[in-house]
Amino acid sequence: MPKNRFEASAAPRETDSSTKRSSVTSSVSSVAEQALIFVAASNAKTPAPLVDAYLMRLHDASIGRLKETCADVADSMMADGIRSEDIADRYVPAVARKLGEEWSDDDLSFASVSIGSARLQALLRRIGPDWSADSAPNPLVAESAALVIVTAEVHHTLGSMVLAGQLRRAGLSVRLVVGAETSEVVDLIRDNNFAAVLISASITESMESLKT
C-alpha cells in the first residue's frame, strides 16, 4: 500500500476512509480468489475420456479436410451428450495442441495452423454466449469483473479465450483485450475496478519481460 495511506491514519476521518478502502480491497481479492479456485477445482475433477472420433472430426474440420464445419461437429457432440463446457475446455485445447505438434513436425503449414486456430476460436464464440455472470452461484462474484490481457506482441489468443469462458462460468464478468499496448492496459486498470487482472503469456516469456 502507498506510504501516505498509513501516515493519514492519524486523523480519525482518514482512518475510517482507509479502513473502508482496505475492506473493499480485501473483498475484491477474496472474490477473485473464489473464482480462480472454482476454475481450478473444475479442472481437477476426473473427467470422462475424450472421444477420439470427435477429436479427429473437430481437428479435420478446423483445417478444412471435411465438408462439415467445427460448428457442425460441435452440434453432433452436444447431441450425443457432450457438454459445451467440455468442448471448450477439453476438446478445443486438445485439437489446438495437435495442430501445434503437426506444425512442429512439418506435417502442417503455419497458414493451416493459423486457419485452424481461428476456426476453433470462432467455435468458442459460438458455444459460449450464455456464459455470463448472471448465472453465478455466488452473487458477490457476479458483481465482479476480471481483465484478461493478450499483449500486442503475443500472437496466440486461443488459450486466453478458453480461460475467459472458464471465468465467466465461474461468475466473473470478463473483459478480454487482445493486442493491447502498455498504455491501453494502464488506462484500463486505472479507470476500472477489476477483481483480477490476468496476462496471457507464452512459456518462453519471463516475469521480468512481462513487467515491462
pLDDT in tens, 165-202: 888 888 778 888 888 788 888 888 888 888 888 888 77
pLDDT tens-place string over residues 73-91: 999 999 999 999 999 999 9
Residue type at 37 in one-letter notation:
I
Q: What is the pTM of this model?
A: 0.66
Number of other residues whose CB lies within 10 A of the CB of residue 11:
11
Tell me the CB-side half-sphere exposure of residue 154, using CA atoms within 13 A.
24
Residue 21 has pLDDT above 80, yes or no: no
How many helices (H) and strands (E) would you count in the chain? 11, 3
Predicted confidence at residue 210, as pLDDT, reads 64
Contact between 83 and 160 (Cβ < 8 Å): no
Residue type at 123 in one-letter notation:
L
Counting residues of the chain whose pLDDT is more than 70, the rounded percentage is 66
Residue 26 has pLDDT above 90, yes or no: no
Strand order in the sheet with 145-151: 173-180, 145-151, 196-200
Please provide the average confidence, as pLDDT, over all residues in the chain. 76
